Structure 1
Amino acid sequence: MSATSAPITPEAFLVAIKELELEQLHAEAARLQNSLYHLARSNIALQEFQNDPELKEAIADNEITIQRQKQRVQIIVEEIQRRGFPTDHVVWGNAVDGPNGEGGSADTQVGGGQQGEEGDPMAIARPEPPARAREGEVHTDDHGDGGVYL
């Protein structure tokens, strides 16, 4: 992000996602969860160098981004619920382990009102690929629009 641009506000994000189809909402939630996973892993790696002022600033910036992205995932979950769809399957994954193993690796489910660590409704999780993708199968859609699904 450049120094001259500001992130979209939660209100503007909500307006933007109202136009998305359900599949797109799920994809955006998964993209955000993947980003959250990598930001958390980066911060864990950077903890070793927190005496460096630049790296300390990077950790703080990542924490701000993590909070913003968690909020966006929650907004997506609420939009899916508003549309009358269940959210207990929105994002599945494994929690990020801390530097000493804290945080565990228990499966974490986002949505459906489950709470993460310390009551955080948006535990940082790594999305797992669908079983078919893990098996290396390639699937095409049956709708004739030429999409390929891994």
Structure 2
Amino acid sequence: MSRKIQNSLIAFIMATSVSALFVQSNIEFMKTEIFHIPVLFIVILGVSLFIAEDVRDSFKKVLWFDKREDKRPIWQVGIGSIFFFTQIGFVEVFARHLMHFNLGGMPLYCVFAFMNAFLLTVIYEEIFYEEEKTNVQIVKFKNRMK
């Protein structure tokens, strides 16, 4: 379940990124919408659903996720960034009217996306993260207690 959620959010991020690039272009057929949803977004979302698993695995290889002893910190950063960029992409494609509000020079949608990503990461971790108890972790805990 966790993997499907991550892959669908990654596909959403890729689709919103491409759609946000073409929203401001001069090419009219790229701006075509059905019920306020860009057609380009629908097409790219369909394509990116097929490659989302490969993208996720590539990031895991680049960040040496499988070789790390303690996978939790990099897992949290990965999930947090997925939630952050999903919210940013949503605002850039579907709620562009929210982009002009600022908080001391910082776009307000970025501030809210960061706060929400932090909270969603904590909630997601409580639901899905399974920490494997190994002898190394038990020894580390015993050494800390001394």
Please give the TM-score of this superposition, normalised by the length of structure 1. 0.29
More helix by share: 2
More strand by share: 1
Larger radius of gyration: 2
